[in-house]
């Protein structure tokens, strides 16, 4: 069993990005600028956005944080999005989710200029991705593809089972794995809450991408020997032995599945770091478009 190290892989990519930024700026090119909009005081969102800012500093990007009140109106937030769309110095920006319940998330995401949508959530980018056209790929699926690529995991002709159909992870990952490209060329089955015979489907899988948000849902008796496991799940469960009082758990029961796996991502330290670095990759892509 080979443990897929997302921390080290993401560090390798950050180093590569930093070198490219140095090359661009040394020739008089623009310093990449990533902005993040944070609405309210969600602890997990604040932690995640702060990590993104640190990532920007490490690779030589400029970063901006737009902090807005929990009580901001949808109209005011849309005005802020429009301002960022019009700011020529900002190459890409994200609106950190979740948003307060009185704001329509889809309406806000639709308002982002597709050319600056480095999260890859706008229908224009998702549509281009589905058609295998140049686009911003959603960060987590991009990170998954990078892990498969950098570990030279064979995907062509393999049966890939994606569990979870969210537009953020599961659906785009299933499209990417089925494209005529490496990583890709897999035969893909997309499973979800209405799927029957899930255990039988999983047992036939050469590659499993688990993104359903249910801790330890996939167990050792549900997979075959030699399976490749990409575990996207991150659920906080109570653990009084930890200083924080909790621990992060994936969708795959690591203890029973890892002995059967040929490759497996840990939680934490697997897909998570790759999601963050993919945001940097998309921002750099936005700058390349202007060169």
Active site residues: 52, 96, 119
Q: For every residue of the chain, which 3-state class applies, written as one string?
A: CEECCHHHHHHHHHHHHHHHHHHHHHCCCCCCEEEEEEECCCHHHHHHHHHHHHHHHHHCCEEEEEEECCCCCHHHHHHHHHHHHHCCCCCEEEECCCCCCCCCHHHHHHHCCHHHECCCCCHHHHHHHHCCCCCCCCHHHHHHHHHHHHCCCCCCCCEEEEECCCCCCHHHHHHHHHCCCCCCCCEEEEECCCCCCHHHHHHCCCEEEECCCCCCCECHHHCCCCCEEEECCCEEEECCCCCCCEEEECCECHHHHCCCCCEECCCCCCHHHHHHHHHHHHHHHHHHCCC
Residue appearing with tokens 């704001």:
103
Output the six-digit token pair for 191.
């499973």
CB 244 within 8 A of CB 222: no
CB 165 within 8 A of CB 175: no
């Amino acid at each position: 069993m080979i443990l897929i190290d997302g921390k080290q892989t993401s560090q390798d990519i950050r180093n590569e990005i930093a070198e490219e930024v140095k090359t661009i700026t040394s020739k008089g090119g623009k310093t990449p600028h990533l902005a993040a909009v944070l609405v309210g005081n969600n602890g997990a969102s604040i932690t995640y956005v702060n990590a993104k800012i640190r990532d920007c500093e490490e690779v030589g990007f400029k970063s901006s944080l737009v902090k807005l009140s929990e009580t901001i109106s949808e109209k005011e937030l849309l005005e802020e999005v429009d301002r960022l769309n019009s700011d020529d110095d900002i190459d890409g920006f994200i609106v950190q989710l979740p948003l307060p319940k009185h704001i329509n998330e889809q309406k806000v995401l639709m308002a982002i200029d597709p050319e600056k949508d480095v999260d890859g959530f706008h229908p224009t980018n998702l549509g281009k991705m589905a058609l295998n056209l140049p686009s911003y790929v959603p960060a987590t699926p991009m990170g998954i593809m990078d892990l498969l690529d950098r570990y030279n995991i064979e995907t062509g002709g393999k049966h890939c089972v994606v569990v979870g159909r969210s537009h953020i992870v599961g659906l785009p990952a299933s499209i990417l794995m089925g494209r005529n490209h490496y990583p890709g060329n897999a035969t893909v089955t997309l499973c979800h809450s209405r799927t029957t015979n899930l255990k039988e489907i999983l047992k036939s899988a050469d590659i499993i991408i688990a993104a359903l948000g249910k801790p330890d849902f996939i167990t050792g008796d549900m997979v075959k020997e030699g399976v490749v496991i990409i575990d996207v799940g991150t659920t906080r469960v109570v653990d009084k032995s930890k200083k924080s009082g909790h621990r992060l758990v994936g969708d795959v029961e690591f203890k029973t599945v890892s002995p059967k796996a040929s490759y497996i991502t840990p939680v934490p330290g697997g897909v998570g770091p790759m999601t963050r670095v993919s945001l940097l990759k998309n921002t750099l892509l936005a700058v390349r478009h202007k060169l």
